[in-house]
């Protein structure tokens, strides 16, 4: 078993949600100054301010979606310079 990542207990017992959260968190925790803050309703990734959030809709509404990760506002999105990505 891999080492638990802060905030992952928020998504237990849904194994699919934990797996998705680990993939998201793994890509963000390596960035400088990023901290994970779990609240009652979501897990936030912060670097002075919250810049990414994850929440489990199954806790609040009837849904088959394991994890919701909202897209950042257009002006905060990172532009990827790669021919494999489309706009």
Please list the pLDDT of the chain residue by residue as tens digits (87 residues).
466 778 888 888 889 989 988 888 888 888 888 899 988 888 999 988 888 899 888 888 888 888 888 876 555 555 555 555 555
The answer to the question of residue 38 being in a domain is yes
Query: C-alpha angle with apex 21: 60 to 36, nearest 5 degrees?
Result: 90
The answer to the question of residue 47 being in a domain is yes
* Report field, pTM of the whole predicted structure over 0.85: no
Buried b (16+ CB within 10 A) or exposed e, 40-65: eebbbbeeeeeebbbbbeeeeeeeee
The answer to the question of residue 12 being in a domain is yes
**Nearest by Cα to 59 from 39, 35, 44:** 39
The answer to the question of residue 87 being in a domain is no
Range of the domain at 14: 8-76
Total domains, the chain: 1
The answer to the question of residue 83 being in a domain is no
The answer to the question of residue 20 being in a domain is yes
């Amino acid at each position: 078993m891999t080492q638990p990542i802060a905030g992952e207990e928020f998504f237990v017992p849904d194994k699919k949600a934990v797996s998705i959260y680990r993939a998201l968190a793994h890509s963000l925790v390596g960035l400088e100054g990023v901290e994970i803050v779990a609240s009652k309703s979501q897990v936030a990734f912060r670097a002075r301010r919250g810049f990414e959030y994850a929440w489990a809709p199954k806790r609040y509404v009837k849904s088959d979606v394991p994890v919701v990760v909202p897209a950042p506002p257009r002006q905060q999105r990172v532009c990827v310079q790669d021919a494999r990505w489309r706009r």
